[in-house]
Amino acid sequence: MREPRSAARTRPEYYRGAVIPGTSDGGGRGIVKPLPPEWFVPHDGNAEMRWDAPTGPGPHTPNERFFVRNHTRTPRIDPDTWRLRVHGSGLRGPDAVFSLADLHALPATTLDAVLECAGNGRRFWAEQQGTPAPGTAWGLGGVGMAAWHGVPLGVLLERAGLGPAAVDVLAVGLDPEYRVGGRNLGRVRRPLPLAKALEDVLVAYGMNGEPLPPDHGAPARLVVPGWVGVASVKWLGSLEVSDRPLESPWSTEFYRLFGPGQPADGGPALTRQSVKSAFELAPGAVLAAGRTHRLRGRSWSGAAAVRAVEVSTDGGRVWRTAELLDPPSRYGWRRWALDWRPAAPGRYGLRARATDLLGRTQGAEAPFNREGYLFDAVVVHPVEVV
């Protein structure tokens, strides 16, 4: 297994918020909440969660520390005048319109789910595999887990008059239209197959026991558990229910795999997230030799609960089973810990790999794709023992 080139040198700088070549980091432009540098790494209007900042006693990521991924900027929406319109050929009758009070009056549920950007871990394509990918150079902090509270989308669609011929639901956000490369692609929107919509998707208006914060989609967003973050459309304005398959640039152009092993014109629109693990430790952390250190981290998978996590401190030769601190969770992550007593000073690359209940695991290399989505290889975490 190759060691990342000069990782110990570049990563600590990056985690202090340095500008990364190839991106134009703008200090969290367009995000409403404060982004203290000890909690976040800014990426040109997006904010990455730092894994070395303690995140409280439980498994949930506090709202004020949750990563933000915006195509444009966070809109401020008046919850009193906000309406969600449901329309389209897949409904039996006319449009249905819901106010926030209407949503509050519908049956609600709470679900622990990881929300993760498809591009999370993108910088490791360059650092570990020598194949840099364009786009936001996330470390592993384009992810968080919250207890999402809201109305099951299936319940809402039934109330709206879901018809038997419906196949797709297109969620449209109320944030500004997305302009890129001289084109206006319109509002952020992405179709969702009806089967998933009816399975476990939420129209969420609560996050970790609080109303949804502005940056995370207030007054209501989709939460599509286990799927790439872009499916979870924020600031919901409308839902088109269609009796024909729908598409948008977010399902045809972005968030698909292009490259070897894919059809010539690209793979299908991305759905499930891959398996990942992260240490709750600063990259390049300095640890004392001859002492016992409790290594902590979290692992998650979009397809099933995490079953086991193994850690290697010797370059991937010996793997030890980590202690799992949370019960299995279908869509949540599991925290883990493992004691390590490094005998000798030097530079080490810590490795963690998770396996989920479907047997999906993390290997030494992730299969290349042009846009650098779904990095699921073991990420080598540099530390220095002194």
Ligand X SMILES: Nc1nc2c(c(=O)[nH]1)N[C@H]1C(S)=C(S)[C@@H](COP(=O)(O)O)O[C@H]1N2
Distance separating alpha carbons of residues 151 and 199, to the nearest angstrom: 12
Using CB under 6 A as the binding rule, whether residue 229 contacts ligand X is answered as yes
Per CB under 6 A, the segment of 133-141, 162-170, 233-241, 345-353 that binds ligand X is 233-241
Per CB under 6 A, contacts with ligand X among 273-312 are none
How is 242-272 classified by DSSP, letter by letter? ESS----HHHHTSSB--STTS-TT--PBP-B
Q: How far is the CB of 220 from ligand X (least distance, A)?
A: 11
Per CB under 6 A, contacts with ligand X among 145-164 are none
Q: How far is the CB of 119 from Mo ion (least distance, A)?
A: 6
Residues in Cβ contact with 375 at an 8 Å cutoff, skipping those fewer than 6 apart: 120, 121, 122, 124, 125, 274, 276, 366
Which of Mo ion, ligand X, none does 381 bind, CB closer than 5 to 8 A by kind? none
Q: How far is the CB of 74 from ligand X (least distance, A)?
A: 9
Binding residues (CB under 5 A) for Mo ion: these are: 69, 117, 229-230
C-beta atoms surrounding 290 within 10 Å:
10
Q: Which of 50, 65, 122, 216 binds ligand X (CB under 6 A)?
A: 216
In the bound state with ligand X, the residue whose beta carbon lies nearer, of 98 and 148, is 148
In the bound state with ligand X, the residue whose beta carbon lies nearer, of 65 and 353, is 65
Residue identified by tokens 């498809």 is 118
Per CB under 6 A, the segment of 15-23, 229-237, 279-287, 363-371 that binds ligand X is 229-237
Using CB under 6 A as the binding rule, whether residue 50 contacts ligand X is answered as no
Q: Which of 166, 233, 304, 306 binds ligand X (CB under 6 A)?
A: 233
**Alpha helical stretches, state H, the chain:** 7-15, 100-105, 123-129, 153-160, 194-199, 249-252
Rg of the chain (C-alpha set): 21
How is 338-371 classified by DSSP, letter by letter? EEE---S-EEEEEEEEEEETT--B--SSPPP-TT
C-beta atoms surrounding 379 within 10 Å:
27
Q: Cβ distance 243 to 194 under 8 Å?
A: no
Which of ligand X, Mo ion, none does 216 bind, CB closer than 5 to 8 A by kind? ligand X
- Position 125, amino acid: W
Q: Site for ligand X (CB under 6 A): how many residues?
A: 18
Residue nearest to ligand X (CB): 173
Per CB under 6 A, contacts with ligand X among 66-85 are 66-71
Per CB under 6 A, the segment of 99-107, 232-240, 319-327, 377-385 that binds ligand X is 232-240
Per CB under 6 A, contacts with ligand X among 100-129 are 115, 117
Distance separating alpha carbons of residues 122 and 135, to the nearest angstrom: 8
Which of Mo ion, ligand X, none does 129 bind, CB closer than 5 to 8 A by kind? none
- List C-alpha distances in Å: 317 to 352, 365, 366, 384: 12, 16, 19, 19
In the bound state with ligand X, the residue whose beta carbon lies nearer, of 229 and 349, is 229
Which of ligand X, Mo ion, none does 232 bind, CB closer than 5 to 8 A by kind? ligand X
Per CB under 6 A, contacts with ligand X among 162-181 are 173, 175
Q: How far is the CB of 229 from Mo ion (least distance, A)?
A: 4
- List C-alpha distances in Å: 144 to 40, 297, 315, 381: 12, 13, 28, 19
C-beta atoms surrounding 98 within 10 Å:
23
Question: What are residue 311's DSSP bridge partners?
Answer: 320, 352
- What residue ranges bind ligand X (CB under 6 A)? 66-71, 115, 117, 173, 175, 188, 216, 229-230, 232-235
